Amino acid sequence: MTVGEKAPEAAAPAPSAAPVGRSTGRGKAETRAAWLFLAPDLLGLLTFLGLPMVLSVALAFMRVDGFGTYEFVGLENFRRMLGDPQFYDSLRLTLVYLVLVVPLTFGASLGLAVLIQRRMPFVGVFRSAFFLPYSVSVVVVGLVWEFMLSDDVGVVGIALRAVGVRPPSWLGDPDFALFTVVGLCVWFWMGYYMIIFLAGLQDIPRDYYEAARLDGAGAWAVFRHITWPLLAPTSFFVLLTLTVAAVTGGFELILVLTNGGPSNGTSVLVFYIYQQAFTFGEFGYASALSAFLVLILLAWSMMLFALTRGGRFSHGRS
Amino acid sequence: MAAVDTRPAAARPTRPARRRSAGAGGRGLKGFYVALATVLAVVTVFPLLWMITSSFKGPDEVVNGRLTIEDPTFDNYVYVFTQVPFLRYLANSLFVSVVVTVVALFFHSMAAYALARLRFRGRETVFVLVFSTLLITIPAIIIPLFLIVRELGMLNSYAGLIVPAVFNAFGIFLLRQFYLSVPDELEEAARIDGAGYWRVYWSVILPLSRPIFSALAVFFFLANWNSFVWPMIITSDQALTVVQLGISGFQDQYGADWNYVIAASTVAALPTMLVFFVFQRQIVDSIKTTGLK
């Protein structure tokens, strides 16, 4: 990868793994060498990714206790899930959370990317500033915001009261805490997805913009007719990864900020799974819940693929 | 949209033409965009600035909500390092992050070399399998992963913190793409000199990998330094506490003493912010590559 000015060149599509032209006499030695080179990573990936994937399905049909005994219980975990009101609550919270976080982060990051793609002074400074939150950990983000949003001494509340606005209890109100989490997630992630959008924007030929400007197209028309359609593959990618990342990352932030509270107001599904597994030791039940979550995410990915014809959207037809 | 891309390249406006079309209104618009970007940048950066300034304030001043520091003090930092084994936390994080990064780069480049440059039966299958693990997300497997690590006796150990964190397909994928673009001649020259596969890998491929290694290293280091949930699940021993766990535990203990909590957070965040400023270009490049290709 180059460290030069034009990053995308480094990411230029490499040729597919076509067989490198070479004499065939070495076949056997080459095969042996290849497997030896692959061995450490393959073993690791199998043990720490492949096996867990298989086990995660199996565990959903089991009861596991703290001493490591595994007992097959059929569909019991799923039956329990259907009769568990907190499961439905966490599902509802997850939906509310996702319906807000995904479009907001998507819009904010795309907006930032389009904004700083313009020729203007200090572009580098702006890009660094928007991207900076990405460098700090979810724990730091959680602690700093908890400090800033605390009811009596938080700077946000102090500032709002100074201008005569009565702030809500950002993290203390069960009906409001989830929205606070949503806002923080957008703040935390928009810089990262901005970078991805910027990469997509750089792939759009400059000529298109110049030509549109010659035709007298306004900023909105340019966005609507050039940027948006040509950015479709990037948008698809962002939508897909953002959803998965939001499910995971939101959980981590919730763990630090509210621990699922107040009154389970932020107990989204992944948090509930975590709680069942690592607080109550209900590994089997938690596995059933997470199997359900994986199914939903899979369905969402497939729906996105179907709707966008694999990320090509409509302009790919011509 | 179809109309614009059929235009001949000659129709591209020259610089003066564009400047004329922008005019005075364009300059006003530009000012607006700069102002907008400035406001947004301040909003984005403010929490981290607030963290750093608050860490130098005393217990009364830290909650007054003012931007200025009346009476700067290092007491909070002294307190953090003397009341809890914070140096130990930092050392643990550094150790785990560095070992994971080095081992991961080594293993991934070996695997990527085989997938990109060696011919053997089953190569495409292996690649597809490796690639498909990119779709596995951690929450989906964290429970069985925990149980496996427990069965392997790696709970409460550095091995438990390090080993599972090494393996991910991102690195393999990225390095493979990079090795595919290495010219054959370099390898051939070494081969003619009688070098075996390992020699070729070690003395031709590895030295060529330096730029992509530096980009990936930054990425791996940040991810591991900032990792929180996995260490929390598998360690309970104080001696193994990593810095992220340390600061969250610190808050449980000193909840309302924000000056201490914020100083601890600042210590945990400074290395990553430093890495960010120094290696921003590499981070951006590797995000763009992992993100899109």
The residue among B160 and B212 whose pLDDT is bigger is B160
Phi, psi of A92 (to 5 degrees): -60, -45
Could you tell me if residue B5 is inside a domain?
Answer: no
Tell me the β-bridge partners of B251: none
pLDDT value at residue A25 = 53
> From the list B3, B54, B288, which residue is nearest A199 (CB)?
B288
CA–CA dist B79, B62 (Å, integer): 15
Beta-carbon contacts of residue B35 (< 8 Å; ≥ 6 apart) = none
CA–CA dist A203, B281 (Å, integer): 18
Q: How confident is the model at residue A311 (pLDDT cuts 50, 70, 90)?
A: low
**Cβ count near B70 (within 10 Å):** 10
What CA dihedral angle connects B281, B287, B292 and B293, to 10 degrees?
80
Provide the mean pLDDT of chain A: 86
Q: Chain A within 8 Å of B185 (Cβ-Cβ)?
A: no
Shortest Cα–Cα distance, B105 to chain A (Å): 11
Could you tell me if residue B51 is inside a domain?
Answer: no
Q: B25-79 pLDDT, tens per residue?
A: 567 788 889 999 999 999 999 999 999 999 999 998 988 888 888 889 999 999 9
pLDDT value at residue B269 = 95
Cβ A129–B50 below 8 Å, yes or no? no
Cβ A1–B282 below 8 Å, yes or no? yes
Domain count, chain B: 1
Among A9, A120, A147, A298, most B C-beta atoms within 10 A, so best to mutate, is A147
Could you tell me if residue B55 is inside a domain?
Answer: no
Query: Angle A85-116/A177-202 helices, nearest 10 degrees?
Result: 40
What secondary structure does DSSP assign to B205-264, as a single string?
IHHHTHHHHHHHHHHHHHHHHT--HHHHHH---GGG--HHHHHHHHHHHHTT-HHHHHHH
Q: Which domains does chain A have, with CATH numbers?
A: 84-316 (1.10.3720.10)
Could you tell me if residue B40 is inside a domain?
Answer: no
Tell me the β-bridge partners of B36: none
Q: Chain A within 8 Å of B270 (Cβ-Cβ)?
A: no
Which residues from B are below 8 Å from A48, CB to CB? 145, 148, 163-164, 167
Q: How confident is the model at residue A69 (pLDDT cuts 50, 70, 90)?
A: confident
Cβ B180–A15 below 8 Å, yes or no? yes
Q: B76-126 pLDDT, tens per residue?
A: 999 999 988 999 999 999 999 999 999 999 999 999 999 999 999 999 999
**pLDDT at residue A10 greater than cutoff 60:** no
Q: What residues make up the domain containing B111?
A: 85-292
Could you tell me if residue B186 is inside a domain?
Answer: yes
Q: Which one, of A293, A285, A297, lies nearest residue A78 by Cα?
A: A285
pLDDT value at residue A14 = 42
CA–CA dist B202, B213 (Å, integer): 14
Nearest CA in chain A to B282: A3
Could you tell me if residue B2 is inside a domain?
Answer: no
**pLDDT at residue B13 greater than cutoff 50:** no
pLDDT value at residue A312 = 55
Q: What is the ipTM of this complex?
A: 0.85
Q: B229-243 pLDDT, tens per residue?
A: 999 999 999 899 999
Tokens of A131: 């991207």
Q: A235-294 pLDDT, tens per residue?
A: 988 998 898 888 877 888 999 988 888 888 899 999 999 999 999 999 999 999 999 988
CA–CA dist B165, B162 (Å, integer): 5
CA–CA dist A276, A49 (Å, integer): 22
pLDDT value at residue B25 = 56
Which residues from B are below 8 Å from A154, CB to CB? 65
Q: A100-129 pLDDT, tens per residue?
A: 999 999 999 999 999 998 888 889 899 999
Tell me the β-bridge partners of A63: A71
Nearest CA in chain B to A292: B140
Could you tell me if residue B236 is inside a domain?
Answer: yes
**Cβ count near B244 (within 10 Å):** 24
Burial of B32 (0-12, 13-18, 19+ CB in 10 A): exposed
Cβ B12–A210 below 8 Å, yes or no? yes
Could you tell me if residue B158 is inside a domain?
Answer: yes
Tokens of B10: 């000659």
pLDDT value at residue A181 = 95
Shortest Cα–Cα distance, A168 to chain B (Å): 17
CA–CA dist A17, B172 (Å, integer): 14
Q: A189-231 pLDDT, tens per residue?
A: 999 999 999 988 988 888 888 888 888 888 889 899 999 999 9
Please give the single-letter amino acid code of residue A179.
F
Q: B263-293 pLDDT, tens per residue?
A: 999 999 999 999 999 988 888 877 776 654 3
Cβ A38–B7 below 8 Å, yes or no? no
Cβ B114–A35 below 8 Å, yes or no? yes
Which residues from B are below 8 Å from A21, CB to CB? 184
Query: What CATH number corresponds to the domain at position B184?
Result: 1.10.3720.10
pLDDT value at residue A8 = 38
Instruction: Decide if B280 contacts B216 (C-beta within 8 A).
Output: no
Q: Chain A within 8 Å of B125 (Cβ-Cβ)?
A: no
Beta-carbon contacts of residue B282 (< 8 Å; ≥ 6 apart) = A1, A3, B214, B215, B218, B219
**pLDDT at residue A26 greater than cutoff 80:** no
CA–CA dist B247, A141 (Å, integer): 11
pLDDT value at residue A111 = 95
